[in-house]
Structure 1
Amino acid sequence: MRLSKFSLDAALQEKSTRNIRQRLKDLPNMSYHLEAILGEVGIKDVRALRILGAKMCWLRLRQQNSLVTEKILFMLEGAILGIHEAALPVARRQELAEWADSLTPKQEFPAELE
Structure 2
Amino acid sequence: VDVTAPGGDRAQIPPAGSGTSCPLSTLPGGGYGTMCGTSMASPHVVGVAALLASTHPWASPAQLRGLLRSEATPIACPAATTTCTGPAGNNSYYGHGLVNALAAVTR
TM-score (normalizing by structure 1) = 0.26
Higher strand share: 2
Bigger helix share:
1
Largest Rg, 1 or 2: 1
